[in-house]
Amino acid sequence: MMTKIIYHTTLCMILSCLLMLSVIGCGGKKTKPTDKGQTTDHKNKTKKQSNISGSSSNIFENSEKGKMLGDIPYDVWFKDPIAIAGNGTPVAIVKTTPQTNQTPSETIPKITPKPKTTSPQPSGGKVDWKKVIPAEVLNDEVKSIRNRFTGKLKTVGTYNRSYLEFKPFCVSMAVLSEIASEHSGSLRWKKNAKLVRNLSAQMISEKLRSGAKSYKQIRIPFEQICDTLDGSPPSGLKKPSDEDSFSDVADMGDVMKRMEMLIKFLKDNAGNENTFKKYQDDLKHRAYILAALTKAMNSEGYGNSDDEVYTKYTNNMVKACVAMAVAAESDDFAAFEKAMPQVNQSCIDCHTAYRN
């Protein structure tokens, strides 16, 4: 490829020389420059002939332009074109980069995009319920609900006078029974806890009204719960699903109503140290129940378990509830009084952000 380029270059130069010779001729007259440096004909040029390297007399020197070959500057021609054409040394190609007005400090650096990251999802592991509520407190609450229902379900009349009170306690029993099935503590009815869970939900599967029909709806599953808690679950009951959880058996709104009842008791019965001491055991018990229900509200089925803000609110409230329970157990009114506002603030923050 290089040889062809050199060959064509040499040929072009030789043809150019022949063309110039034919135009200029030998011994032609030269013109003298005008005052303005312009030439009109060869007579106006200053003649100063010289022999340079044996060249012909058509090479002359212009006072303004230097040596000329006709009208072409002499220095554009190679002195020895044949020798140059025979030189096969490759010519290095210099690469140029576009100039910019940027200084090195202004040069925009190449940015490597960072891989997208997603916020870590909750682990989804089992809750360590013994850190939220002791097994004996859970068991005592289920017994308490059982005793409450026993007195109110003696007859249709006793039911009619109190049927509006049942729902919050039914959902509370359902939630606590699910917790019992997962709790690491000792509970005699633990292996049948999911049966109690489902039967508690069955009690309020339809809206309760006054009258015999609703009384029967709630009375039959309640008797089955009592038998199950006593260690003799009735035969023929549908096997509970291990896949069901809190949201399948307890409506969030109904659980919230029970939580509101617990918070009200804690506020009303710990206003001063004397009242605190009077209801110390009840305060401890209800603070633990509130902690358990709050923790259950952050389970997957209720829809906010992957929300970091919601999880923060519920965890703060659980922590404050447990602190209240421990304070009541240790007769520490100051610690109880310090934790109570934290429960209230968690409720306010959560309701402000999430309640419609």
pTM assigned to the model: 0.65
Q: What is the pLDDT of residue 95?
A: 43
CA distances from 10 to 55, 56, 71, 83, 192 (A): 19, 20, 21, 10, 106
Q: How far apart are CA 50 and CA 195, in angstroms?
A: 125
Predicted confidence band at 70 (pLDDT cuts at 50, 70, 90)? Answer: low
For 168-199, write each residue's pLDDT tens digit: 999 999 999 999 999 999 999 999 999 999 99
**What's the chain look like in SS3?**
CHHHHHHHHHHHHHHHHHHHHHHHCCCCCCCCCCCCCCCCCHHHCCCCECCCCCCCCCEEEECCCEEEECCEEHHHCCCCHHHHHHCCCCCCCCCCCCCCCCCHHHCCCCCCCCCCCCCCCCCCCCCCHHHCCCHHHHHHHHHHHHHHHHHHCCCHHHHHCCHHHHHHHHHHHHHHHHHHHHCCCCCCCHHHHHHHHHHHHHCCCCCCCCCHHHHHHHHHHHHHHHHHHCCCCCCCCCCCCCCCCHHHHCCHHHHHHHHHHHHHHHHHCCCCHHHHHHCHHHHHHHHHHHHHHHHHCCCHHHCCCCCHHHHHHHHHHHHHHHHHHHHHHCCCHHHHHHHHHHHHHHHHHHHHHHCC
Confidence of residue 310 (pLDDT cuts 50, 70, 90): very high
Average pLDDT rounded to a whole number, residues 198-213? 97
Q: Band of the pLDDT at 34, cuts 50, 70, 90?
A: very low
* pLDDT at position 177: 98
What confidence tier does 350 reach under pLDDT thresholds 50, 70, 90?
confident
Residue range 295-307, pLDDT digits in tens? 999 998 888 888 9
**Mean of the per-residue pLDDT values for the chain?**
77
Does residue 20 have a pLDDT over 80? no
Q: Measure the CA–CA gap between 241 and 173, rounded to whole angstroms.
A: 17
Comparing 70 with 251, the larger pLDDT belongs to 251
pLDDT at 13: 60
Looking at per-residue pLDDT, the higher value among 141 and 117 belongs to 141
What does the pLDDT read at residue 9?
54
Q: What is the mean pLDDT of residues 328-342?
A: 97
CA dihedral 131, 135, 137, 140 (to 10 degrees): 160
